[in-house]
Amino acid sequence: MGKGNAFHKGGGVFLLLPLLLYSYNPKGLSISYSSTDNIYLLDIKDRGSIMSISPFLSYDNFIDFQYYGNFSVVNFDNSNLYLDNYIEMQKKVYLPGVGNKNIFYLNFYNFFSTSYEIYRIYEIALGDSLNIYLEDNYLSSSGIQLKYKVFPDDSINNYFEPGLNLSISIPLPYFFFSPRFSTGFRIFNDESMLFYKVSSSIYFPMTLDFSLSLSLSYYNLQPPDIEFSIINTYLDDPFYEVEAIKEMTEFNINLFKLFPDIDSRVDLNIHLFDKRFFEVDNISRNDKGFKANIKFSKMLRENLITNAKFESYINSSTFPDFEYTRNTIGLSLQLIF
């Protein structure tokens, strides 16, 4: 069997990999290595490398189960070892009509540094999502989510986030338009902060081997009556900056192109952002920048994929201490069992 035929038969795994993770109960392992001129992680802002082993497992039954893990070490120093774990459990209840279903889910995520307590997070989310189809076409999704985030470091507030969301898909000539709205409260101690996010995306299916999508979003978190205290201790630490964002506007461009004759795929992502942070100790901060990455994937065998990736990140800020650039080259092997 030639390589071209292998792609169209077994190579369909390469094209439909995200679907297979939900459908055929696979398990696998990814091994990756990246080199960068700015690690910008675990408060390390020098050049170096990251070595990672990432297992994944999916199992569909009465309750669907998925696990994604990541075990990484920075600069081959065991004091800079950290772990990521993500677990998702779903129960789908199918409703009258083709595709209509209600999904109950429970998610768990944690980031754990073996040497530094301040770099540890635990997050649990419980939710329900109702998905509606019209004449076999996806129409809308609405749901509720309850999220609780825990920081073991006592100087940082844990918080609870109940929220609602609604998204609609509108088929138009040559593309799909999908607006989305979500809102809720971030609650910590005796304070509550209203947040909302408005976003829209346009997806151009183009052809089977090429697609383009554009998305624009705006996020706003209203300040509490007291000084925002979840970030005071680590204002200058990149690990916690997402907790201190007051407003954020993002624009994304995603493109992929398949090359069936050589069992390969190219993905391109461009991300533009404008972030405004809460004032802490009368210090205000506004960051703007972009991240661009390109990834080349090659199927070596039906269950073995290799990836090469380049990423460039530029962050400009109203404070020079937060201005930085980062360029990263990475290689990985993904084995699917």
Q: Write the pLDDT tens digit of every residue in 109-139.
A: 999 998 888 889 999 999 999 988 877 777 8
**Token couple for 221:** 């978190």
pTM: 0.84
pLDDT score at 202:
93
pLDDT above 80 (res 82): yes
How high is the pLDDT of residue 225?
Answer: 63
Dihedral (CA of 120, 159, 130, 197) sign: negative
**What is the identity of the amino acid at 236?**
D
* Structural domain for 24, as ranges: 3-336
Report the number of distinct structural domains present in the chain. 1
pLDDT interval class at 228 (50, 70, 90): low
% of the chain exceeding 70 in pLDDT: 87
Structure tokens at 228: 């925002």
pLDDT digits (tens, 9 = 90+) for 172-221: 888 889 999 999 999 988 788 899 999 999 988 766 688 899 999 999 99
Chain mean pLDDT for the chain: 85
At 233-281, the pLDDT tens digits run 555 677 788 888 899 999 999 999 999 889 999 999 999 999 998 876 7
pLDDT at 226: 57
Please tell me what DSSP assigns to residue 239: G
CATH of the domain at 212: 2.40.160.50
